[in-house]
Amino acid sequence: MSTFEEVESRVHVPLTTPRLPRVAPILVGVMAVALGGLVVVLGASIFVGVLAAAVTFLVALPGWSYGVEGRRAAVDRLMTALIWSAFGVAVVPLVSLLWQVVSSGIERIDGTFLTYSAFRTQIDQPTGIYHAIIGTLMITLGAALISVPIGVLAAIYLVEYGNKNRLSRSITFLVDVMTGIPSIVAGLFAFALFTLMFGPAYVSGFGGSVALSLLMIPIVVRATEEMLMLVPSDLREASYALGTPKWRTIMKVVIPTALGGILTGITLAISRIIGETAPLLLIAGAATKTNFNLFDGGMTTLPVYIYTERLDGSDEAKLNAWGAALVLIVIVMLLNLVARLVGRLFAPSKG
């Protein structure tokens, strides 16, 4: 075979593969939306139209990619589209909920609503949620004061001293069980405990704090345990090599390194319990006056106030419930924002 024939018989492998244009997902998306709109125009429901648009996009884009880019790129585009679709399905209910709460409750928010309680001394006196805001903050603060020391110390024992012994395994099992208990069970426990101690018909905000602490402790333990386990062992060994006792190593090295994550977990745990209703109905009761005494008398929180107003059924009560729900969402969002900021502020430096 001649040299010319050998050169001609060689297989030339291209260094680049065909790719879809960058606007391909946009073009397919526009086509899918147009098809979904056509389905709605023909008489189908909006849900059917959205479903038709989503299916069209999930079929058309990978199919086009398969014909141009090959199987591997088509599978990649299909999985990417599925992930974005799942994200959209998760976001739609959240956006719908926020829109409903904001649109229904924003007209009720004013200075009177935030600074007056529900207790009336005159028939025409305006009412508000000041008593519920104070009750929410005090009961949640009481639960945090109970849960944070217990949860953090338990996590320190599990990570630094437990060493997978029988006691640490028992604590881990109990924490896992407490994570899944219904909130009403925590309320029944607090109700039974304080009834045995102080007699029947006893209600107080502190009882609500105890009930909420049962729900908060396992979250704090788990969050703190995970953060402590992320601290490199080299830091501990370096401290031990300098002759530092273990307790001082934990206080000066381990906890400061994990402090950002610990505080973030605590803040998220508070956000979890601040919206509980069932335990507080049993032990904290409901009051129309502003009660600053955590240990005596009924105390209303925002979730309980929303529940009682919805039971009323009147237009004014429904508007009050939507306004209180908006305030509660704002408080929870502020707590999550604080958690983010605290996590970044106390995060260990990199490099």
Residue 14 has what pLDDT?
59
Residue 67 has what pLDDT?
85
Residue 122 has what pLDDT?
75
Residue 351 has what pLDDT?
52
Across 152-206, the runs of DSSP E, i.e. the strands, are: none
Contact between residue 109 and residue 175 where contact means Cβ atoms under 8 Å apart: no
Residue 145 has what pLDDT?
94
Q: Which one-letter DSSP state was computed for residue 122?
A: S
CA–CA distance, 135 with 141 (Å, rounded to integer): 10
Contact between residue 300 and residue 286 where contact means Cβ atoms under 8 Å apart: yes
Contact between residue 92 and residue 85 where contact means Cβ atoms under 8 Å apart: no
Contact between residue 205 and residue 136 where contact means Cβ atoms under 8 Å apart: no
Residue ranges for the chain with pLDDT beneath 50:
none
Tell me the per-residue pLDDT of 191-246, one tens digit each, with 9 for 90 and over: 999 989 888 888 888 999 999 999 999 999 999 999 999 888 888 889 888 888 88
Residue 9 has what pLDDT?
57
Q: How many C-beta neighbours within 10 Å does residue 308 have?
A: 19
Which region, left, alpha or beta, applies to residue 303 given φ > 0 means left and ψ of -120 to 50 means alpha? alpha
* Average pLDDT of every residue of the chain: 86
Q: Which of 222, 217, 210, 223 is nearest to 263 (CA)?
A: 223
Give the DSSP per-residue string, 242-310: TT--HHHHIIIIIHHHHHHHHHHHHHHHHHHHTT--HHHHHHT---SS----TTSB----HHHHHHHHH
- Let me know the angle formed at the C-alpha of 240 by 237 and 243, rounded to the nearest 5 degrees: 155
Residue 198 has what pLDDT?
87
Q: What is the CA radius of gyration of the chain?
A: 29
CA–CA distance, 215 with 181 (Å, rounded to integer): 8
Identify the H or E element spanning 70: none
**What are the residue boundaries of the structural domains of the chain, listed by start?**
3-107, 130-345
Residue 8 has what pLDDT?
54
Residue 6 has what pLDDT?
54
Residue 212 has what pLDDT?
93
CATH number, span 130-345: 1.10.3720.10
Tokens of 151: 């949860």
CA–CA distance, 310 with 273 (Å, rounded to integer): 21
Tell me the per-residue pLDDT of 117-127, one tens digit each, with 9 for 90 and over: 888 777 777 88
Residue 16 has what pLDDT?
67
Residue 50 has what pLDDT?
86
Give the DSSP per-residue string, 192-220: HHHHHHH-TT--BHHHHHHHHHHHHHHHH
